[in-house]
Amino acid sequence: MKPAVQRVAAAIAEHGLPREVIELAVHARTSQEAADALGVAVGQIVKSLVFTVNGQPLMVAASGANRVDERRLAEVAGGRIRRADPELVKQATGYTIGGVPPIGLQSELTVYVDRDLLGYELVYAAAGLPECVFPISPAELVRATRGQVVDIKEAGRDPKGGPA
């Protein structure tokens, strides 16, 4: 097991989660690729996205079916929002884009959890590499990340990713 995946597995254990890392047969760099590989709805994929608010990194755990409404995120976070560049993502999380998990991060980040994830029994998050994921219930995700549940998706999208 590669070091990035080992860190996620250790975080899963530290949080007392009854979960294990799943290695996919493909590199799932998109939510749709991960959903297809797992045989689940794209909305069940957790996208761990890093933004900055007034220059400080934060994370959004978004449903794979949704785009983050950056204006809404700015309201919730209380400042100017920008997408983090790959270097900042790596610095803040310890992981490269495509494999960023919502737990086991290099630094403590404020986390906002997309309310649409709560509509599923299980969701799947990256586990350090594009080909590795782990299942987690939405309640476990909120607890483990100490996340704040928010309505963060762009208007005009339904939980399955199509037009509303």
Q: CB–CB of 100/48 below 8 Å? A: yes
Model pLDDT, residue 156: 67
Between 11 and 160, the more confident residue is: 11
Q: Is residue 140 part of a domain?
A: yes
Domain harbouring 93, CATH code: 3.90.960.10
What is the mean pLDDT of the segment spanning 125-131? 95
Exposed/middle/buried for 153, CB within 10 Å: 0-12, 13-18, 19+? Answer: buried
Q: Is residue 11 part of a domain?
A: yes
Model pLDDT, residue 135: 98
Q: Is residue 161 part of a domain?
A: no
The predicted-structure confidence for 71-88, as pLDDT tens digits, reads as follows 999 999 999 999 999 999
Q: Is residue 157 part of a domain?
A: no
Q: Is residue 13 part of a domain?
A: yes
Tell me the residue range of the domain where 27 lies. 3-150
User: Is residue 122 predicted with pLDDT exceeding 70?
Assistant: yes
User: Is residue 115 predicted with pLDDT exceeding 50?
Assistant: yes
Q: CB–CB of 144/134 below 8 Å? A: no
Q: Is residue 33 part of a domain?
A: yes
Q: Is residue 107 part of a domain?
A: yes
Q: CB–CB of 159/121 below 8 Å? A: no
The predicted-structure confidence for 141-150, as pLDDT tens digits, reads as follows 999 999 999 9
Global confidence as pTM: 0.91
Q: Where are the alpha helices (DSSP H) in the chain?
A: 3-14, 31-38, 70-77, 86-93, 138-145
Q: Is residue 158 part of a domain?
A: no
Nearest to 103 by CA among 142, 136, 52, 144: 144
The domain tally of the chain equals 1
Both structure tokens of 115: 């309310």
